[in-house]
Structure 1
Amino acid sequence: MELASIARSASLENRVFLLLLLAVTLAFAWVLWPFYGSVFWGAIFALMFNPLFLRLLKHMPGSRNGAALATVAIILLLVILPLGLIVASLVQEVAAVYQRMQSGDFNLGAYFRQVYALLPAWVLELLERFGLGSTGLILERLSASLSKGSQYLATQALSIGQNAFDFVVSFFVMLYLMFFLLRDGAVLSGRIEKAVPLEAGIRLELSGKFVTVIRATVKGNVAVAALQGALGGLTFWMLGIHAPVLWGTLMAFLSLLPAVGAALVWGPVAIYFLVTGAIWKGLLLTAVGVLVIGLIDNILRPVLVGKDTKMPDYVVLVSTLGGMAIFGLNGFVIGPVVAAMFMAAWDLFAKARQAGLPAAAVSTPRAELTEVAESPNVPDLPDAPAN
């Protein structure tokens, strides 16, 4: 074959084009990376509130701009403004706790020595086995941990103060992106699906799974976190514990860790009450923690997350922990989504193996496709004009 014909061959052109496509895609992702969090949460909010946008659009026919703007305003009032108020209260309580620690009013060492002196003999023997028999050694390790934690919090607080402008810019980028994803999301999702080189049935199944898992994960985890944090903070306030908003917020964040999250906060406090003679407070906090906060995690999370995603509880747990270990707070969404797409892709591959066909040739039964297509979790595919 002559060099000219090789240079003009379709195979070479396809390879060059695919390389170009990959290069520009990676370059675009690199450009967006500084605003990764804004893009991520803008897309998440748009996906979560798309049903509300569609309802508003029915009352505002022909005005996609107005419906999108109204949806963004509702998100600001119902989600972002309350979060801002909680953060403001949290900052005040953190400052108050820090001042108490600096003045010596809150002495962790004194509390620890009080608890340690009241521990039963078998607990002391157990601590001896782990090399923690000396109160001085334990306090030294606790002090080192608290020092590292306080340094981290101080660094983060200083970083937030110094990067306030960056935060404001990222916040408005999120709102701006949210508006256009609400308005033009159906068109964009349709174009993306059509561009994916897979059979239509597989594209529809994977996109349906993707949207369902994101909505179920965010809805379930946020609902569980809000309930556990609110109930935990209210219980701490009723028991007269200082900074209930701080502890409630901490329980809400830790509740993203399934099974044990909130117990990492209320458990030590309940133990302190029990060993220092505040039996009724300890029993009440333990009862609320086990029978109310614990049941929310054990019953509500599987119902809201596992039922819609159709993933086993252990997969949800491991993927959530792994996602948060890699991506931080965003990982509680990314982890289960990756796990769900992994399971869906391998399920398609297994069907193809059983049928003796290539994986890309496996079609979802028409009845299932109709069910997925009619599901509200799947974005509309037809193009819609933007006003």
Structure 2
Amino acid sequence: MQMDLHQPAQDTVLKNIWKQITLFLLTFGAVVICFFIIHPFLSAIIGAIVLAVITQRPYKALTRKIKNRNLSSTIALVLVILSVVIPCFFILQDLVQGTTTIIIFLRSDVPQKSLAQFLEAHPTIASDIHIISNNIDLQNTVRTMAAVLGGLLTGFLSYSFSATVQLIILLFILFFLYRDQEMAIAFARSLLPLNEQETDALLTNMSSTINATALGRLVIGLVQGLLAGLAFWVFGVPNTMLWMAVTVIVSILPAVGASIVWVPIALYLGLTGHWGKAALLTAWGTFVVSSIDNFLYPVLVGSKLNQHTVSILLAILGGVVIFGFSGVILGPLAFTIASTLLDIWQARNNNLNPRPPLPQS
């Protein structure tokens, strides 16, 4: 009877394969569980990473003067609180007050009376509106809008405790990202199944995307918000600070951005009889507020975000739908990671299957 000498070796190989599969499944399960554990604090984690990336240069300049990592990280954290956290707190206060004022105004009888007076003075427009809105109860529309805004404000106020917890966690993580950034980068490198050159390309593209999305789009939004807010103040639009802040937020979206705010306000000015102000705001919004994006985007973003406008818009909107406000960063970042990994696969494939040389004439 002849024995199969290869059987023990085959059994060992199969045993090792099953061990690898089991290890992979256990690791995957553990990672999924960890994701669900940290998911409630995802906004704080993303915020800390974004702040650490966009403040990288000033922090490095600080560490060159202060060699003690704990001290330099503490000073950097205090500077972030003074320059970012405290101003945002006062801005949010103004937003809440402005929203409350709008809700009180909409719940009063003033909007209905103003609408009735306007329709009496413009019978042609009144008849057109009547034809369009035969099945719409205009009198309850404003009240419904007030109820919606009231619900949003109530939700915002109830979210304030959770936001405070998120802020504390964000600052806690940011301190250690400052202090132990080399350790964090080395840990990330050790997990990536890429060579050194590929890892450098991926991390560089991720850093550029965060800077371009968080810093570039934010600066553009601030400029557009200030320009729009200046016009709102000059033309006597109520709650200027509120609409300016909303303009800053929506300016993150490419292509449409600030026009979401100033177009309805221009229509409001026109419908309330201020046609001159409406025309001037339309011109200012078209040729200054919305057009400034075309000049600032190449300077502040440029080639850092190597994506088409359509893909950026879809990435931001899709990211917000899936991850909430953190999706503003996570959406474009996911697109960048996918694009970089596809480039790496293509480069590896070209190296494994080189193209035949072109025939010489």
Shorter chain as denominator, the TM-score bin is 0.7 to 0.9
Instruction: Report 1:176-195 matches (<5 A).
Output: 176-195=172-191
Residue 108 of structure 2 corresponds to residue 103 of structure 1: yes
Letter in 2 for 1:327: F
Cα–Cα, structure 1 residues 143 and 273, in superposed 2: closer, same or farther, change >3 Å?
Answer: closer
Query: RMSD of aligned C-alpha atoms?
Result: 3.0
Quote the Cα distance in structure 2 between the aligned partners of 1:42 and 1:273.
41
Count of aligned residue pairs for this structure pair: 347
Cα shift at 1:334: 1.1
In 2, are the aligned partners of 1:302 and 1:313 still within 8 Å (CA)? no
User: In structure 2, which of residues 90, 93, 96 is the aligned counterpart of residue 88 of structure 1?
Assistant: 93
Question: Deviation string for 1:223-260 (max 9, x for gaps)?
Answer: 12212222222221121111111111111122122222
Residue 27 of structure 2 corresponds to residue 21 of structure 1: yes
Cα shift at 1:278: 2.2
Q: Secondary structure at the match of 1:137?
A: coil
User: In structure 1, which of residues 36, 46, 49 is the aligned counterpart of residue 52 of structure 2?
Assistant: 46
In 2, are the aligned partners of 1:320 and 1:333 still within 8 Å (CA)? yes
Residue 296 of structure 2 corresponds to residue 297 of structure 1: no
Aligned residue number for residue 118 of structure 2: 114
TM-score under structure 1 length normalisation = 0.80
TM-score under structure 2 length normalisation = 0.85
Aligned residue number for residue 145 of structure 2: 146
Quote the Cα distance in structure 2 between the aligned partners of 1:116 and 1:350.
68
Cα–Cα, structure 1 residues 270 and 45, in superposed 2: closer, same or farther, change >3 Å?
Answer: same
In 1, are the aligned partners of 2:106 and 2:146 still within 8 Å (CA)? no
Question: Deviation string for 1:76-115 (max 9, x for gaps)?
Answer: 111111111111122222222222333334x167348727
Q: Secondary structure at the match of 2:193?
A: coil
Aligned residue number for residue 68 of structure 1: 73
Cα–Cα, structure 1 residues 236 and 68, in superposed 2: closer, same or farther, change >3 Å?
Answer: same
Residue 32 of structure 2 corresponds to residue 31 of structure 1: no
**Unaligned segments of structure 1, at least 5 residues:** 359-387
Quote the Cα distance in structure 2 between the aligned partners of 1:82 and 1:158.
18
Aligned residue number for residue 171 of structure 1: 167
Question: Deviation string for 1:271-315 (max 9, x for gaps)?
Answer: 233355423311221122112110123332354335212222222
Quote the Cα distance in structure 1 between the aligned partners of 2:81 and 2:168.
12
> Which runs of structure 1 show a deviation greater than 6 angstroms over 4 or more consecutive aligned residues?
none
**Mean Cα deviation higher: 293-302 or 83-92:** 293-302
In 1, are the aligned partners of 2:243 and 2:261 still within 8 Å (CA)? yes
Question: Deviation string for 1:17-70 (max 9, x for gaps)?
Answer: 222222222222222122121112112111221222111000012x11111111
Aligned sequence identity (%) = 26
Quote the Cα distance in structure 2 between the aligned partners of 1:108 and 1:200.
67
Quote the Cα distance in structure 1 between the aligned partners of 2:155 and 2:269.
32
Quote the Cα distance in structure 1 between the aligned partners of 2:242 and 2:147.
19
**Mean Cα deviation higher: 282-291 or 294-303:** 294-303
**Mean Cα deviation higher: 69-78 or 12-21:** 12-21
Quote the Cα distance in structure 1 between the aligned partners of 2:233 and 2:182.
46
**Unaligned segments of structure 2, at least 5 residues:** 1-6, 355-361
Residue 215 of structure 2 corresponds to residue 209 of structure 1: no
Q: Secondary structure at the match of 2:136?
A: helix
